[in-house]
Each structure stands twice: as structure tokens, then as C-alpha cells.
Structure 1
Amino acid sequence: MPRFSYISHLQCPKCKKIYAHTEKQHLCSCGAPLLVDYDIDSLRAQWHPEDLQIRGTSLWRYHELLPVQSAHHVVSLSEGMTPLNSMPKMAESMGIKHLLMKDEGSIPTGTFKARGAAVGISKALELGVKSIIMPTNGNAGAAWSLYASRAGIQATIVMPVEAPEITRKECTIAGANLYLVDGLISDAGKMVAAELKEAPDLYDASTLKEPYRIEGKKTMGLEILEQLDWQVPDVILYPCGGGVGLIGIYKALRELQRLGWIGDRLPRLVAVQAEGCAPIVKAWEEGRAESEFWPHSKTVAFGINVPKALGDFLILEALKATEGYAIAIDDETVLQEQQRVARLEGAFICPEGAATFAAARQLRDKGWIKAEETVVTLNTGNGLKYPNTVQSDAPLLKPGTKLNDNRHKTK
């Protein structure tokens, strides 16, 4: 008989120890994050691509491959099935025949973080969690606060004072306990760890310290493949901080292979970082399996300002397995590309998303991306959440004044 979810267990990707998904779990005893596994053999016989045709457009259309066992516990704001837009003018400027953008700016809360929050909060509700705590660079905290309020769960959020101001307001209006730190997300993480020692009943929702955020993020990969009629693109570029989305997309691809919905060929995954914070790029260039802490990190693409990712070994494994790439982009180039996307394609994207376009351009120039390939960039959020990335200099006119040659200028 079909089940709502075919979740089987949790497993450590390092030591392979197995954990029950029916209890609250965080890291493995060896310190690695846990990943969700599914009964793919049973699911393969019960679930087929055509079954999706009559379903709604939220990410819960893939509920068999998500960890929540009962529809009763689903907490949703109709997140998912964001546009996969053709970018013909950008493609022409780069010399790429097929350039597409997965645009997460239209999702609830304005960023892809809503995906992880929807699934993470839903599973927390199913496990009986009453209160969560997490460090954040802003957008994840905002999303988890809003979804937690919908679920009746109390959220405590700790974020750097330099995080986008709008994310503070989202946390506050959702009723979260918000704390600002004069430091980086790594400093916020240390404060959360200290609080958990004092209040062990709090549920640690830090990146990859609970197993279910990644399951929400992987739906980006499921959607991309469905939107391409299960035809695998050649390249997917992802702005990489904690890297949960990239890990999730790779996980989705592997699960689709096991289901038999796609063949053996996988897209080459690209981790895009900022020059001011590029630990994954450094580790990849040096051929290492894990990254080192990046000191004094700073970038205008604040969402990828993560000096050390807990899942770094999983990111690097995905790049290696797909013959991918890791590349760092400087802030000036990020802002230039953000402006170019708006002026050529009419899309106000976030700086992290702009970094993926800059990376595609540079990788095309290197010849790593070929002209005839199908390339997908991930825009992870709405540019309106980063108003300080654009400076507007408009003349102030008295009523009745002729416009003449005064024109709106964007720096």
C-alpha cells in the first residue's frame, strides 16, 4: 500500500552508523552530519513521473521522497516549483546556447531557505519539538522563524549584526527571540552551542546539525529535472556557503538515478564562492577532502560568507563525483553581473545568484563550459532583500520642471 513517505532511516556518510528517524537526531557520534535514506526499492514500484502530473506545485508534490511521515504534520506556505527561466540575452553575452536560471526569488520569504525551513520545521513538529535555536547569516533564520510561527514552535535566532536588515525584521515580526552578534556566523554558532549546553531541551536547527533541512533543499534538484522533462542539464552552478543546496541537489540526482527516472549521466556541479571567503575553492584546488577555516572572511554576497562548512567533505565529494568545479568571484564582478542580469533580463537577483552568472561567464571563457551545453544557474533569492547592493542617484525636481536629459542613474 502506498505510503506518504518512504523514509527508512538516517545514516552517517562517514562511518555508516544507522539512526532511527522517529527520534530527535543531530550529528553522528563521530561528529558527521546525518543523511536521510529512503526505501527506494519499494518506492520504485509505487511511484512514477506521470504521478506528478495531477499534483499541486508545492515541493510536497515529492512527499514520497521527503522525511515527513504524515500529511497532518506538513507545514507549508505553498513553497516550491519556482521558475526555470531562459536567459537568452545573458546566454548571448556569454556565448552559451542554452542558459537557464532557477529563480528562488519568488518563493515564500524571498529565498531558497524556505525549502529547508518547510521540511525541517515539518519534521520537527512531527518529532514533538517545541522550540528551536540556530545561527544564521540572515535568510535561513528569517525563513525558519516564519515557518516555526506557523507550526506553533518557538524560534531563537542568532545572526551577525551585518546580516541584511530585512531578515532581522522577518524574525522579529514572526515572534522569534533574536540576538545579534558582532562577528561572523561561526561566532553565532559558538554562542548557540553554549546555549544548548545550558538548555538541552532546545532543538538545534543549525545547518546540517539536524538531518532534514537538506531534504527541503534537494527539491530544487527534483524540480530542475522535472522542468527539463527528466533530461539532465550539462552544468548546474550553485552559490556555496554552507553548501546544503549543492549537497541536496546531488542527493536528489542520486535518488532519481536509483528510481530509474534519469540515466547514468549527471550534470557537472559547480560550487561558486566569493574571493573573500573561498574555503571550498581552496580545498578543491589543493585536492583535499575537507576545507580549512577561512580567516577574516568578508563579501558583499553575505549568504555565502561561511568560513567553514560542516558538510564541506560532502560538497567536495559531489564536485569530484560529477567532474565539477569550484570557483571564486570577486565582489566587484558580482555587483557588475547583478546589474547586467537586471538590465538584460529584467531580473533583480541576489548577489549570491549573480556570482553564479559571473562563474558561468568565466568558465565559458576558460572553455570548461562549451557553447552548445545546457547550463543552469541558481539564483537563491530576491534582490530586494539586499537593497544595499544598489545605489540609486536620482535628481530631485520641483513640480513642473522639465526632465530635459536628467535620467535615473544606477551605480
Structure 2
Amino acid sequence: MTYLDHFECSECNERLPADIPQSNTCKDGGLLYARYDLERMKREVSMERIARGPASMWRYGPLLPVDDIENAVTLGEGWTPLNQTERLAQEIGAGELLAKNEGMCPTGSFKDRGAAVTLSRYRELGIQDVILNSSGNAGSAFSLYAARAGMHCVSILPTDSQTSSKKQCSLSGGERYLLSADRWHEAGGLVDELSKRHGWFNIGTMKEPFRTEGKKTMGYEIAEQLGWEMPDVIVYPVGGGTGAIAIWKGLEELMELGWVRGKLPRMLVTQYEGCAPIVKAFDDGLEECEPWGEINIPPGGLKAPAPAAGKQILRIMRETNGGGMAVSESEALEAVAQLAALEGIFACPEAGTTLAGLKKALKSGFVSKDERVVLVSTGSGLKSVPTLPEFDIPQIESANDVNAGA
């Protein structure tokens, strides 16, 4: 059973009932958060019970908004590895360094968590048709999970989205459309219009509360996999911002339950230099992000010129003494190669920005060698093969052509 109690606006604190579909419409720019009866849960649910649960994110069922998790829309998402990365840590001069490998999720990214919970709950509430705009991975996840659920999903993708995302959306049988990449800033308004015209429920980034609920399980897992202890720093690549907001929401809930030791970790946000509205706003001392101008980054999940959760992320960055690092495409790709060569983790370039940003933070002294750091590798490199570097691989004709140890 779920302990979901109500929704609450992050800015004006308005409360709304949780038993009907709700959209984020606060005039104050607030986000709608699901709130739970944690006092009751303290009395009725133990950490030991959670630990005996399935090896998936559904072990946290009481803290998710789905009434009947036995009928959840699932492909086995969650409970991804939290890998110690000792060789990598030594190479870059870090202390204890771990990587949360979200590329192990069914469609290849952390977006599966949000898709599973969102579609599970809306199916319970009687919604059959959903629509979203996505730079790629969310479209893939929602299209495939909608196929699993027997629901109708419409995805709007930019023309330069990854081939893998276009093919996953297409093979799912869901509706998919391309919008010119140079008009991507119009995508949100287009989805709003289509939602009203056709009655399709808008599940775009931060347009509703349940995607956050799925993604917060990353925070639960990090804490549990560390023996219910907080890390000192979490490094997260931010586009629209749902994932970062979700992790800290999850950790705050664990603190309120008394299940985790330590204080909230510092949030270190990473973005590409060619689209870094959150990093710039933080460095400029602003409370909200200003829309980014020309976007000059590779295709993928960090193409968010006006992050939906920008205000809330900036607040968390400051409250946790966190910060932001903008990195170049070449720095991110170098980090992807390091993760693969030193730790065997095949990460997407967006995830590579976390390692690239951490290296800058270590060099500047913003992160110290005494801190336990978690990198969140948000997706698999298999999602981004065309954007990865090319390598010359020698062709051989016989064993004599192989230079052993070269």
C-alpha cells in the first residue's frame, strides 16, 4: 500500500488532493510535490522490511504513489549498481568515489524510473493517453513503458535527437513526431496546445508530480547501498532538472523517517558550456535561471535552455553549499573514455559531464579528497554511440599481426 497523502506546491504550499490527476499550474512557479504520511509510516514500516523487498525500485513501494504495486507497469527498473571506482579515484586525485550506473535500467537510462511510476499511477487513475516533449531518453522510456502498459503515448523529439531514441520510440508503436532542433524552445508550448486540443495528459518535465516520485528512488538506493549513510557530495548532470530535484526529495524523506545517518549531501550540478543556464545563474547569484540563447551541445538529455526546475535546483545548491561546473564536449568525452578504461562503465556523454565536472571541482578545491563522492551515471553509452569518438581498429590476417601487450 502507499502512504501518499496529498500534493503540495513547493512555493505557495497550497495542498491538493492526490486521488485525481493534477498538473503543475502554480502562478508562483512552484512544483507540485507528492507528500506522504511519514509519521504513520514510521510506526508501520521498518527499514528491515524495505531491505527484504524486491531487487528493484519497487522495494520502496510504501513511499511511491501507486496503490497496487503488484499491477505496476514495470520492466525491472531500479536497484542499479553503486560501484566503487578505486582506480578512477586514484587517477583523478579523489578520495572515496562511487558511480551509480543508471545505464543498467531497461531502456538504458534513469528515465525508466519516472516512466514506470508515472504510467502506473495514471493508469490507476483512468488515464489512457499521454504526451510529452523529450530530447530523447524520456521519449524512449515513456514510449516503451506505455507499450508495456497498453497506453497511448505521443512523443515530440528534436530533429537532432539520438538515433537510438528515435528507433526506440518508433519500435514501441507509439506516436512520435520531430520538431526542428532550432525551434526546440517552442516544444513545451506545442505540447501544451496538443494536450488541450486532444485531451492527452501532459507528462512533460515537471508538468506533473509523479515522474519525480519514480526518480527519487535513486536517492533511496544510494543511501541504502551505503548502509543508510549519506555521501558528502552527489554529482549530477542537469537538463530539465527532475532527476536532481528527485534525489534530494528522496533523501529528505529518509531523513524525516530517521532511516539515514548524516546531513544532506552537497549538490554539484554539471552542464555543458554550450547550454549551462543553471551553472550561470548560480555563478551570477540569481534565484532563477535566465533562458539560454544559442544551444551548442551534442544531442542528448542536457538540451534544456529553460530548466523547469531551475529555481528549486538553485535553492538546493545553495542550501547544501553545493555548486555547478560547466564542461566542454571534449572534457565530457575524455571522461567517458576514463570511466570505460578504468572502471568498465560505458556511460553516455551526459554522464561524462559528472566526472569532468568533478575533476574541475577537485582541482579548484571545491571538493576535497576527504569527501565521499557519488557520480550519477544517468545513461548507457549505447544510447549515444554516434556522438562518441571514433577509433582506428587494426585489421588482422593472422596471429603474426597481433602485437601482444601493445
Equivalent residue runs for 1:99-110 within 5 Å: 99-110=97-108
Instruction: State, as a whole percentage, how many aligned pairs show the same letter.
Output: 38
Q: CA deviation at 1:393?
A: 2.2
- 1:13 and 2:10 correspond: yes
What residue is the counterpart of 2:186 in the other structure? 187
Contact 1:120 1:213 in 2 (8 A): yes
TM-score, with normalisation over the residues of structure 2? 0.96
Contact 2:233 2:373 in 1 (8 A): yes
Look up the SS of the partner of 2:401 in the other structure: coil
2-side partners of 1:260 and 1:301: how far apart? 41
Out of 247, 252, 257, the residue aligned to residue 249 of structure 1 is: 247
Q: CA deviation at 1:125?
A: 0.5
Q: CA deviation at 1:301?
A: 6.1
Inter-CA distance 18–244: structure 2 relative to 1 (3 Å threshold): same
1-side partners of 2:261 and 2:88: how far apart? 29
> Segments of 4+ in structure 1 off by > 3 A?
399-402, 404-408
The one-character-per-residue Cα deviations of 1:234-258 (angstroms, maximum 9, x if unpaired) are 1000000011111001101111111
Contact 2:325 2:360 in 1 (8 A): no
1-side partners of 2:235 and 2:248: how far apart? 12
Paired residue type of 1:336: E
Paired residue type of 2:192: A
1-side partners of 2:297 and 2:205: how far apart? 20
Paired residue type of 1:130: Q
Contact 2:279 2:326 in 1 (8 A): yes
2-side partners of 1:288 and 1:264: how far apart? 29
Q: CA deviation at 1:266?
A: 1.3
Inter-CA distance 27–53: structure 2 relative to 1 (3 Å threshold): closer
What residue is the counterpart of 1:284 in the other structure? 282
Equivalent residue runs for 1:363-402 within 5 Å: 363-388=361-386, 389-397=388-396, 399-400=397-398, 402=400
The one-character-per-residue Cα deviations of 1:285-341 (angstroms, maximum 9, x if unpaired) are 111111011011121262111101111111111111211111111111111111122
Equivalent residue runs for 1:2-401 within 5 Å: 4-30=1-27, 31-183=29-181, 185-199=184-198, 201-263=199-261, 265-300=263-298, 302-388=300-386, 389-397=388-396, 399-400=397-398
Q: CA deviation at 1:190?
A: 2.5
2-side partners of 1:190 and 1:296: how far apart? 19
Look up the SS of the partner of 1:101 in the other structure: strand
1-side partners of 2:341 and 2:299: how far apart? 20
2-side partners of 1:138 and 1:197: how far apart? 23
The one-character-per-residue Cα deviations of 1:92-147 (angstroms, maximum 9, x if unpaired) are 01211200000001111010000000111111111111111000011100000111
Paired residue type of 2:191: V
2-side partners of 1:298 and 1:121: how far apart? 33
Contact 1:298 1:305 in 2 (8 A): no
2-side partners of 1:400 and 1:16: how far apart? 71
Q: CA deviation at 1:262?
A: 2.2
Tell me whether 259-268 or 330-339 shows the greater mean CA deviation. Answer: 259-268
1-side partners of 2:364 and 2:336: how far apart? 21
2-side partners of 1:301 and 1:154: how far apart? 26
Paired residue type of 1:314: Q
Look up the SS of the partner of 1:145 in the other structure: helix
TM-score, with normalisation over the residues of structure 1? 0.94
Contact 2:162 2:299 in 1 (8 A): no
2-side partners of 1:17 and 1:151: how far apart? 32
Q: Which runs of 5+ in 1 are unaligned?
A: none
Contact 1:136 1:185 in 2 (8 A): no
